[in-house]
Amino acid sequence: MLREVAVRTALGLGVVAAAAATALAEDPIVVRPRAGVAAPVREDRRLDHRAFDALLRKHVDVHGLVNYRAWKASDRPALDLYLESLAAVRPGGLADREEILAFWVDAYNALTVKGMLHFYPTTSIRNHTSRFWGFHFFSDVRIVVEGTERSLDDIEHRILRKMDEPRIHFAIVCASKGCPRLRNGAYGGSRIKDQLAEAAREFFSDPRHFRMDREAKTVHVSKILDWFGEDFGGTDRAKLDFAARWLPGEEDRKFLAREDLDIETMDYDWTINEQPPPPEGKPEGKEDRR
């Protein structure tokens, strides 16, 4: 019996050691400026995101699910080129705050896709977020901008969240089904206000992220409103007031104004936001968006 336990323990330690070795061996994924790759900035100091927009339209469906198989097979170089062009941008020299906001939102989403393509096939981004040592997706997938390496965590917490725009949480996507929908089109400075408004309305209309149980006087909310609660006002009342702004129905807004509501946080689905494979015999392709 003792020998069996010892063998099992040794095997278990071997598995842990192998996993640790794999994590430690994984180098950070870093996008750097490349000689000859120009920043996609027009004369009016606005960004040209057509390259990323085309990739999103090609590989992301209307539900925000990504065809990682096809993207990895055919368009990794195109995504790398787009990210290298972003690495050549000086954000402070862009036209206005909205342009800077769009730059970092698109950079975050493009960088996340790059990281997922690196590891694909995989079932979840959480497979690549080591708790104790080694590679961590959110700190080790990075882009160099103006000489400084910016990780996904840096972009989210040290740049975007400091821009006082809580709706960015409905725009940046961590490659998971619990996330907001990944748009099948790029964000742009001249239209980002409308795009963020659309993202907020969509988020609060999706029962996977937000739903109301009138009989139980309970509101079920995504963990996004818990993790980043201070960005939505800090209190439960402030979170409900924020949500109410994006609900179309007067009755829904009246319900959220009640003072006797309970708030329950829903489980977060970290499953990869991947399109299912096409039926056997049917070629890969996007669904008709008409």
Tens-digit pLDDT profile for the chain (290 aa)?
434 433 343 334 343 343 444 455 699 999 999 999 999 999 999 999 999 999 999 999 999 999 999 999 999 999 999 999 999 999 999 999 999 999 999 999 999 999 999 999 999 999 999 988 899 999 999 999 999 999 999 999 999 999 999 999 999 999 999 999 999 999 999 999 999 999 999 999 999 999 999 999 999 999 999 999 999 999 999 999 999 999 999 999 999 999 999 999 999 999 999 999 887 766 665 443 33
SS3 category, 113: helix
- pLDDT score, position 289: 38
Whole-angstrom Cα distance, residue 138 to residue 184? Answer: 22
- pLDDT score, position 277: 86
- pLDDT score, position 285: 53
Whole-angstrom Cα distance, residue 124 to residue 21? Answer: 20
- pLDDT score, position 12: 42
C-alpha distance from residue 231 to each of 113, 163, 165, 213 (Å): 25, 11, 8, 25
Who contacts 44 (Cβ-Cβ below 8 Å, separation ≥6)? 95
- pLDDT score, position 24: 57
Whole-angstrom Cα distance, residue 181 to residue 135? Answer: 26
- E-strand ranges in 95-209 read 141-145, 148-151
Name the helix (H) or strand (E) containing 5. helix 2-25
- Which residue shows structure tokens 């990780």? 151
Q: pTM of the predicted model, to two decimals? A: 0.89
SS3 category, 213: strand
Whole-angstrom Cα distance, residue 6 to residue 14? Answer: 12
Please check whether residue 191 is in contact with residue 49, taking contact to mean a CB–CB distance below 8 angstroms.
no
Q: SS3 helix, strand, coil % of the chain, rounded to 5? A: 50, 10, 40
